[in-house]
Amino acid sequence: MTEYATTAPARTTPDGDGYPMDPIPDLDRYRTSTVPIAALVPGDSPRLDGIRPEHVRVLAATDVPLPPILVERGTMRVIDGMHRLHAALAAGRDSVEVVYFDGSARSVFVQAVKANIAHGLPLTLADRRAAARRIIGLYPEWSDRMVAATVGLSDKTVAAVRRAAGDVGQPEVRIGMDGRARPLSSAAGRWIASQLMEERPEASLREIAREAGISVATVRDVRARMRRGDDPVPAAAGGRRSTTRRAARPEAGAACPEPDGSALLEGLRQDPSLRYNEVGRELLRWLDLRTPRSRELEGVVERVPPHAALIVARVARRCAAGWERLAREMELSAADPADES
C-alpha cells in the first residue's frame, strides 16, 4: 500500500496502489525529515524540457519557506521538487526537508504527474500529453476519465492519445473513477447473462448484472431479446440475428467468453473497508491466490497425461462446485429487498 509517512487518514483513488486522492497533500499535515542534498537522486520528471534556470532563480531568491520535497523512500529519487532542490543548492544549502512516498514503481511516475499538475510551474500541454501516453502504458486498464483527471486533460484528448498509442496493450476491462471494473465490450457479459437467466430464471436482474459484470439495463435488454428469440448480443457488438433461441446460443463445447477473475477482483482491492484492516487484507490475499487467470489456464490440458485427465476434470468440477456454493451464499448475504425481478 502506498502512503505518506503519517498517521493522517489518506483518501484513495482506484489505482491499485492507493496514493492519496488529493493531487498533492497538504504537507503541513505530514511528518517531514531533513536529509543531505547529496543523498537525493534526480527522479523521472514529467517535464520534457527538464529544469528551467529562470524558475530556479526565482525560487532561490524568495524569502518564503518552500514546501518539502517529495521523495521515493526506497531509492531517494525526487518525485516532486527538482526546481526547489536546485534552488536550495543555489542558495548554498546542504540539506532539505523531504516527505517520503512509499509506493510501487509505476505509481511513482503517476504521483509525480499529480504533484506537478497541482502546484508550482505548470506542465505544458506537450508534457501532459506525454504523461497521458506513459500512464496509459503503465495502467492500460484505467479509463480515459481516470487518466484525464490525473494529467489535467479532457477525456476526449486522452482517448485520442490512447488511439495513437497503438503499441499499448488493451485489456478487456477498464477501471473507472469509482474503482469499478467494466468490460470494454458488453458482448461477453451478455452471453454470461443469457446463460445465467436460463440456469436460474428466478434470479433478479441485479443478481444477473453483478455476476455478468454488466448494467441492469443491459440485462433487461438481454432478457427482452431472449423472449423475442433474438441473439443476446446485438449484431453490432459481435452477435448475430437468429430466428430461434436455440440458434442464438453458443454450440456445446464451444469456448464461451468469460471475464478474467483478476479483473473482477481489482474492484475489491479498492474498497477501503477491505484494504485497511487485517481481516479484509487476508480475504483479498485468499481470493488472489485462488482466482485463476486466463493465461494460467492456457496449455494446462496439453500438459496433463491422458491417464490423469479424468481425475483433473473431477478436481476442476469439485472446485467449481465449491465456488458456486460460495457464490450463492454471498448472493444471499447481499440480498436486496428492492431488487428488480
Express each pLDDT in 181-190 by its tens digit: 566 566 777 8
Asked if the structure places residue 146 within a domain, the reply is no
CA 27/CA 118 separation, integer angstroms: 13
Please say if the pLDDT value at position 129 is more than 60: yes
Asked if the structure places residue 254 within a domain, the reply is no
Regarding whether 223 and 116 lie in a shared domain, the answer is: no
DSSP 8-state assignment for residue 242? -
Q: Which three cell numbers stand for residue 150?
A: 490525473
Q: Model confidence at 89, in pLDDT bands (50, 70, 90)?
A: very high
Regarding whether 37 and 94 lie in a shared domain, the answer is: yes
**What is the mean pLDDT of the segment spanning 149-167?**
85
Regarding whether 119 and 80 lie in a shared domain, the answer is: yes
Contact 117, 15 (CB under 8 A): no
Q: Which residue has the higher pLDDT, 339 or 109?
A: 109
Regarding whether 201 and 273 lie in a shared domain, the answer is: no
> Residue 272 has what pLDDT?
66
**What is the mean pLDDT of the segment spanning 22-44?**
74
Asked if the structure places residue 81 within a domain, the reply is yes
How many residues belong to the chain? 341
User: How many domains does the chain fold into?
Assistant: 4
> Residue 292 has what pLDDT?
76
Within 10 A of 226 (CB to CB), how many other CB atoms are there?
A: 18
Please say if the pLDDT value at position 51 is more than 80: yes
Strands (E), the chain: 3-4, 33-36, 69-72, 78-80, 95-102, 173-175, 181-183
Regarding whether 243 and 294 lie in a shared domain, the answer is: no
Contact 84, 68 (CB under 8 A): no
CA 100/CA 31 separation, integer angstroms: 9
Q: Model confidence at 339, in pLDDT bands (50, 70, 90)?
A: very low
Quote the domain boundaries for residue 306.
301-341
Burial 99-127 (b: 16+ CB within 10 A, else e): bbbebeeebbbbbbbbbbbeebeebeeeb
Regarding whether 82 and 10 lie in a shared domain, the answer is: yes
> Residue 214 has what pLDDT?
78
Please say if the pLDDT value at position 324 is more than 50: yes
Regarding whether 78 and 12 lie in a shared domain, the answer is: yes
CA 70/CA 172 separation, integer angstroms: 35
Q: Model confidence at 327, in pLDDT bands (50, 70, 90)?
A: confident
> Strand pairing partners for 102?
3
Regarding whether 326 and 288 lie in a shared domain, the answer is: no
> Which residue carries 514529467 as its cell?
46
Q: Which residue has the higher pLDDT, 192 or 47?
A: 47
Asked if the structure places residue 58 within a domain, the reply is yes
Determine which of 81-85, 196-200, 299-303, 337-341 has the lowest per-residue pLDDT on average.
337-341
- Residues 6 or more apart whose CB falls under 8 angstroms from that of 175 comprise 14, 16, 141, 142, 143, 146, 181, 182, 266, 267
Regarding whether 112 and 8 lie in a shared domain, the answer is: yes
Asked if the structure places residue 139 within a domain, the reply is no
Select, from the ranges 39-43, 253-257, 277-281, the one with the highest average predicted confidence (pLDDT): 39-43
Q: Which residue has the higher pLDDT, 5 or 125?
A: 125
Asked if the structure places residue 204 within a domain, the reply is yes
- Whole-number average pLDDT of the chain: 75
Q: Which residue has the higher pLDDT, 78 or 7?
A: 78
Output the domain CATH number for residue 31.
3.90.1530.10
Which run of H or E residues covers position 225?
helix 216-228
CA 79/CA 43 separation, integer angstroms: 6
3-class SS of residue 102:
strand
> Residue 185 has what pLDDT?
61
Asked if the structure places residue 240 within a domain, the reply is yes
CA 108/CA 125 separation, integer angstroms: 21
- Residues 6 or more apart whose CB falls under 8 angstroms from that of 188 comprise 172, 257, 258, 259
> Residue 193 has what pLDDT?
84
Q: Model confidence at 177, in pLDDT bands (50, 70, 90)?
A: low
Determine which of 91-95, 131-135, 139-143 has the lowest per-residue pLDDT on average.
139-143
Regarding whether 95 and 10 lie in a shared domain, the answer is: yes
Regarding whether 284 and 197 lie in a shared domain, the answer is: no
**What is the mean pLDDT of the segment spanning 210-239?**
80
Please say if the pLDDT value at position 230 is more than 70: yes
Q: Which three cell numbers stand for residue 136?
A: 496509459
In this structure, is the dihedral angle defined by the CA atoms of residues 205, 211, 215 and 220, taken in order, positive or negative? negative
Whose CA is closest to 152, among 198, 110, 208, 197? 110
Q: Model confidence at 88, in pLDDT bands (50, 70, 90)?
A: very high
CA 329/CA 323 separation, integer angstroms: 10
> Residue 183 has what pLDDT?
60
Regarding whether 101 and 35 lie in a shared domain, the answer is: yes
Asked if the structure places residue 107 within a domain, the reply is yes
Please say if the pLDDT value at position 266 is more than 50: yes
CA 294/CA 313 separation, integer angstroms: 17
Please say if the pLDDT value at position 220 is more than 50: yes
DSSP 8-state assignment for residue 294? H
CA angle 224, 226, 230 (to 5 degrees): 105
